[in-house]
Amino acid sequence: MTLPDPAAAGRAAVEARRARAAVKRALRAGQRGPRDVAERAWQEPESPEGRLRVPEYLGALRGMGPKRVEQLLATLGIAEGKRLGGLGGLQRERVRGWLADVDPSRRPRLIVLAGPTAVGKGTVAQYVREHFPQIRHSVSATTRAPRPGEIDGVHYSFVSDAEFDRMVDEREFLEWATVHNQSRYGTPRSSVQAALDAGDSVLLEIDLQGARQVRESFPDAVLLFLAPPSWDELVRRLVGRGTETESERERRLETAKVELASQPEFDATIVNTDVAEAAREVVERILTAEADSGA
């Protein structure tokens, strides 16, 4: 018979408390959206989000003091000791309704992050993914071969030419383009539309041709241009990445000149000197756009 290990149980309890505290900190800092946390709690009631007591969750939201939390619990018909993950269907619908009412003007937006090769679009997008999980990212399909370390379905969906043709014929792309005169890349329409319908903004890391197509079909999309601190630094980053041959680098730098000249078409330019700083600026633009009612 295995005896219970009180020390291990104590460590697990401390870990769980820390995880819940991290969720509350992220909510307070605006790094996680209240809807995102609630939906995760309902998908996985045993997750740190699901184990949060409802008053802890509400109390971590901006502008929610203890008095307002108490009143809201009464209005929503939720007992003080209830965990977020333990709410029943009706209570979840009430919380969803309240969250929608709190900020009815918040609109999910399509955000394009474009810019020349090797400026750091992928690096900045990855930083946003890790630090601001409330923002969704689209996974493009491409006919290019995977680089070492790239995972199918995570970095791209790597597809054959025939499969890409089929997706084009069946109108599965929101936009697509042949980039650097070589491989084809496209944004899947269904997953982006599903995220927008669910109330989430989606970040697309795509080329200039794709950005122009998005502007056509989504006039209220926000187009951000990521620029290098200098041309020499751009070349240094491309060479330093070491993933292209000399001829491929030349081809990419030719496209880069055209892309750099297109900056005035964008809503804003963000210079990528420091990754964390550039990522914060991208997120700030997204939050501002979400808060813009468009009136």
Ligand X SMILES: Nc1nc2c(ncn2[C@@H]2O[C@H](COP(=O)(O)O)[C@@H](O)[C@H]2O)c(=O)[nH]1
Ligand Y SMILES: Nc1ncnc2c1ncn2[C@@H]1O[C@H](COP(=O)(O)OP(=O)(O)OP(=O)(O)O)[C@@H](O)[C@H]1O
Q: Which is nearer to ligand Y, 36 or 259 (CB)?
A: 259
Only one residue has tokens 């005896």, namely 3
Residue 184 dihedral angles phi and psi, to the nearest 5°: -100, 145
Residue nearest to ligand X (CB): 210
Smallest gap from residue 278 Cβ to ligand X (A): 15
| Residue 251 beta carbon to ligand Y: minimum distance, rounded to whole angstroms | 11
Annotated binding site for ATP: 115-122
**Judged by CB under 6 A, which stretch of 9-17, 33-41, 137-145, 234-242 contacts ligand Y?**
234-242
For residue 248, the number of C-alpha atoms closer than 13 Å in the C-beta half-sphere is 13
d(CA 239, CA 245): 9
Binding flag, residue 241, ligand Y (CB under 6 A): yes
With the C-alpha atoms ordered 24, 28, 33, 35, is the resulting torsion angle positive or negative?
positive
Q: In the sheet where 268-271 sits, what is the strand order?
A: 136-137, 202-205, 110-114, 222-227, 268-271
* Closest CB to ligand Y: residue number: 120
Residue 84 interacts with, from ligand Y, ligand X, none (CB under 5-8 Å by kind): none
How far, CA to CA in Å, does 195 sit from each of 109, 138, 258?
10, 9, 32
Residues 136-175 that bind ligand X (CB under 6 A): 140, 144, 175
Residue placing its CB nearer to ligand Y in the complex, 185 or 218? 185
Q: Please give the residues from 108 up to 147 whose contact with ligand Y meets the rule CB under 6 A.
A: 117-123
Distance of CA 33 to the CA centre of its chain: 11
Burial of 115 (0-12, 13-18, 19+ CB in 10 A): buried
**Scanning residues 176 to 235, which ones bind ligand X (CB under 6 A)?**
176-177, 179, 185-187, 205-207, 209-210
47 interface partner picked from ligand X, ligand Y, none, CB below 5 to 8 A per type: none
Assess contact for 278 and 93: CB atoms under 8 A: no
Stretch 251-290 residues interacting with ligand Y (CB under 6 A): 272-275
Interface residues with ligand X (CB under 6 A)?
117, 121, 140, 144, 175-177, 179, 185-187, 205-207, 209-210
Binding site for ligand Y (CB under 6 A): 117-123, 237, 240-241, 272-275
